Amino acid sequence: MPHTYIERIGSHVGEQVTIKGWLHNRRSSGKIHFLVVRDGTGFIQVVMGKSDVGEEVFRRADHLGQETSLIVTGIVRADARAPGGYELTASNLDVVGVAHDYPITPKEHGVDYLMDRRHLWIRAERQAAILRVRHEVINAVRDFFNADGFILADTPIFTPAACEGTTTLFPVPYFEDTTAYLTQSGQLYNEANAMALGKVYCFGPTFRAEKSKTRRHLTEFWMVEPEMAYADLGDVILLAERLVSAVVARVLDRRATELKVLERDTSKLDHVHPPFPRLHYDEAAKILIEKGRPFEVGGDLGGTDETVLSEQFDRPVCVTHYPAAVKAFYMKPDPEQTDRALCVDVLAPEGYGEIIGGGQRLDDYELLVRRINEHNLPPEAFEWYLDLRRYGTVPHGGFGMGIERAVAWICGLEHVRETIPYPRMLYRLYP
């Protein structure tokens, strides 16, 4: 009997099929078992009548525990009242692996309890839906850049120095007497790659030893980072809004089922089209003060500031020209206002805050040397990076988009910890 995935069951109405999955739920009424079975692609109710399968098979299903793995054969019936629109009338059932006392039941569990059992929790309908959206987001990102002529060029994970500030580095012993650091961002290598290939992107895990326990921070997260030679801040913003719009449109188009499971109000995502509003840092500061935030002009935006700002708009907002002092060493200063950086943070609406950070890079050799010193970075580790300014420097720029933050926003989640199979956080390294 050919094996059918539940997501394809609709093309087998009236036929006999076999599904291989796990028992999600069971109720019985004397002569009929109702078994809700999941196989990773969907859920289906299996109706097993004693008269159809016989005494022996019927008894097999009498005491099955949640998450027992099983193989069921039966006829597919269309039923508008059934959750997925179909039911299976069983003719046989085989138990593959029994499960007793599955620790995650339909009752409410605390989040720490669930996080300790993350390897099982991902079987839950909501969690599986989020991971499918994540998959779609990642593929939408790849397809977007590939179709746009960007070359995927991988950047290293072991690196000799900081990219995003020395306070959030994870050191790793690297043979006898060297310390490597897990990458915070592929950007510096991306810049070199852009000089070689024009338009590039890297896409991989990045690491920040961030001691912040917020709903937006992981210590290991995935970031996609495009970089373009011969590009200015305006080009970077145009690319960012096109990318975000393309990703949202793709998820709306292909993951409607998952968004429904997540009870996402998708009307909030319908507005996500270019152009996104642009907000100069000074205007952002004005709004925050008007809203009564205790905001110090000249400082960075905190999480709550971002939330307040992003709530003002129905689509992502691009905040530009932050004070150079609060941004990374590699940012190009605005020639019109040299204490400002030619940078952009894209804040997602509904209070989600920053999902993208980027801008135009410092392309001037002398100034870059000065910045490396001002930031107390080890100059010898940046010799290769300075070469990019020694040999044919050009205006260039790019950005990084955090996948987990983007997924949390698109799914409408409280916390980024549910957007990655195994989140790594300040107090979470298990399982």
Q: What is d(CA 405, CA 65) in angstroms, rounded to the nearest whole number?
A: 36
**Could you tell me the smallest distance in angstroms from the CB atom of residue 197 to Mg ion?**
25
Task: Using the rule CB under 6 A, give the single segment among 216-224, 246-254, 264-272, 287-295 that binds ligand 4AD.
Answer: 216-224
- For residue 369, the tally of other CB atoms under 10 A from its CB is 15
Q: Which residue among 24, 217, 315, 340 contacts ligand 4AD (CB under 6 A)?
A: 217
Residues 387/380, Cβ–Cβ less than 8 Å: no
Q: What is d(CA 203, CA 94) in angstroms, rounded to the nearest whole number?
A: 43
Q: Which residue among 125, 210, 283, 364 contacts ligand 4AD (CB under 6 A)?
A: 210
DSSP characters over 126-178: HHHHHHHHHHHHHHHHHHHHHHTTPEE----SEESS-SS-GGG--EEEETTTE
Counting residues that bind Mg ion (by CB under 5 A) gives: 1
Fill in the per-residue mask, 25 to 54: x = in contact with Mg ion (CB under 5 A), - = not in contact: ------------------------------
- Which H/E stretch holds residue 348? strand 343-348
**Could you tell me the smallest distance in angstroms from the CB atom of residue 205 to Mg ion?**
17
Nearest to 309 by CA among 295, 298, 324: 295
Q: What is d(CA 124, CA 62) in angstroms, rounded to the nearest whole number?
A: 23
**Could you tell me the smallest distance in angstroms from the CB atom of residue 361 to ligand 4AD?**
8
Residues within window 333-392 making contact with Mg ion, judged by CB under 5 A: 357
Which residue, 38 or 327, is less far from ligand 4AD as judged by CB?
A: 327
Residues 40/21, Cβ–Cβ less than 8 Å: yes
Angle at 259 between CA 258 and CA 260, to 5 degrees: 90
Which residue, 180 or 355, is less far from ligand 4AD as judged by CB?
A: 355
Q: What is d(CA 326, CA 165) in angstroms, rounded to the nearest whole number?
A: 11
- For residue 27, the tally of other CB atoms under 10 A from its CB is 9
Residues within window 393-412 making contact with ligand 4AD, judged by CB under 6 A: 398-402, 404-405
| Residue 306 near which of Mg ion, ligand 4AD, none (CB within 5-8 Å, type-dependent) | none
**Could you tell me the smallest distance in angstroms from the CB atom of residue 356 to Mg ion?**
8
SS3 category, 395: coil
Counting residues that bind ligand 4AD (by CB under 6 A) gives: 24
Fill in the per-residue mask, 169 to 188: x = in contact with ligand 4AD (CB under 6 A), - = not in contact: ----------------x-x-
| Residue 331 near which of ligand 4AD, Mg ion, none (CB within 5-8 Å, type-dependent) | none
Residues in the chain: 431
The answer to whether residue 208 forms part of the interface with ligand 4AD (CB under 6 A) is yes
Residues lying near ligand 4AD in the complex (CB under 6 A) are found at 163-164, 185, 187, 208, 210, 217-218, 221, 223, 225, 354-358, 398-402, 404-405, 416
Residues lying near Mg ion in the complex (CB under 5 A) are found at 357
